[in-house]
Structure 1
Amino acid sequence: MALTHRLHTTTRLALPRSEVFDFFSDAENLERITPPELDFEITTPRPIQIGEGALIDYRLGLFGVRFGWRTEIVRWEPPYRFIDQQVRGPYRRWHHTHSFVETDGPGGVATRMDDEVLWELPLSPAGELAYPLVRAQLARIFGYRQRAIRELLGGA
């Protein structure tokens, strides 16, 4: 039986929730917030209409290995949240919830964006040997993502 792991990050932005959600409604922005060394590329023909049931295909590289990844938007609740999950890719399970909560910030309205990923490694139980490496890589990727989002949208 595979172990379910959890990654959670919070990013605060000095913008209204609707503007932050709009940024994430454009799938092409995913390329802008992914570390360049992953050589991330969306392969789905554009423009991509994001909504429940949308399938998005990617190519990326990790540790010198190129692979494909397909995710599906399984929940779409603008401007509050959306959930994507892996249909095909490197994980046994990947379930990513993006939540957007409007808050009061120092200069007025702000948004707290939470990313929660529930993930399982393949080839359990032997696959768990890779957990420390994968966990560190995910923390680095999501750290880069937070910095890029703040740079592109303005952080609080």
Structure 2
Amino acid sequence: MTHFEVITRIAAAPQRVFDVSLEVDVHTRSMARSGERAVGGVTVGRMSLGDTVTWQARHFGLRWQMTSWISAFDPPGNFVDEQVSGPFKYWCHAHYFEPDGHRGTLMRDVVDFAAPFGPLGSFTEVVMLDRYMSRLIRIRNDHVKAVAEATSGGTSSSA
């Protein structure tokens, strides 16, 4: 199983960043390069506890679908999305939002995942997926940051 964390500083209040992070349209725009879109469950608007969404995207030249659900929800501190069905043997993405002491937010993403296919999947995680998935989370976070700061009037940099 692979574990990684990404921390992003955002010049917006935790509640604002929490809300933006749950917007289906924000996520879709952040993943435009892979053509990601919501095709089932909550397909527009803001997700909440118990909601599911099925994402469809193209990665590594193949079309993938993943259905995830919001399994934990404690605004504005955190929420968790977990794979219900899809390409991973296991996927859990915890999102944390903490005040940074300067009227902004420290957004921390904690991702744990495992690829299918036993030893071959484990090898793929180490060789390719760990770096690829952490890059996707950083791209997503850069977009969340831009959207959240656009209405907050501040700027900050990713850590």
Fold shared by both chains (TM-score > 0.5): yes
Q: Measure the CA separation in 1 of the matches of 2:135 and 2:28.
A: 16
CA displacement, residues 43-88 of structure 1 (integer Å, 9 cap, x when unaligned): 1254456222111011111111002110011001111100000011
Residue 19 in 1 paired to residue 19 in 2?
no
Q: Measure the CA separation in 2 of the matches of 1:139 and 1:25.
A: 19
Task: Answer yes or no: is the 8 Å Cα contact 2:24–2:43 preserved in 1.
Answer: no
Identity, % of aligned positions:
22
1:83-94 map, 5 Å: 83-94=80-91
Partner residue in 2 for 1:117: 111
- The 1:52/1:146 distance shift into structure 2, 3 A limit, reads closer
1:34-113 map, 5 Å: 34=31, 36-44=32-40, 46-48=43-45, 50-105=47-102, 109-113=103-107
Q: Measure the CA separation in 2 of the matches of 1:149 and 1:18.
A: 13
Unpaired runs of 5+ in structure 1?
Answer: none
CA displacement, residues 113-139 of structure 1 (integer Å, 9 cap, x when unaligned): 000001011011221221211112112
How many residues were matched structurally? 149
Give the match's secondary structure for 1:104: coil
Q: Measure the CA separation in 2 of the matches of 1:150 and 1:143.
A: 10
Unpaired runs of 5+ in structure 2?
Answer: 150-154
Q: Measure the CA separation in 1 of the matches of 2:94 and 2:112.
A: 9
Structure 1 range deviating more: 73-82 or 129-138: 129-138
Displacement of 1:13 after TM fit? 0.7
CA displacement, residues 90-120 of structure 1 (integer Å, 9 cap, x when unaligned): 1100000000001212xxx110000000101
Residue 6 in 1 paired to residue 3 in 2?
yes
TM normalised by structure 2 equals 0.86
TM normalised by structure 1 equals 0.87
Q: Measure the CA separation in 2 of the matches of 1:23 and 1:140.
A: 20
Partner residue in 1 for 2:152: none
Displacement over 3 Å in runs of 4+: 45-49
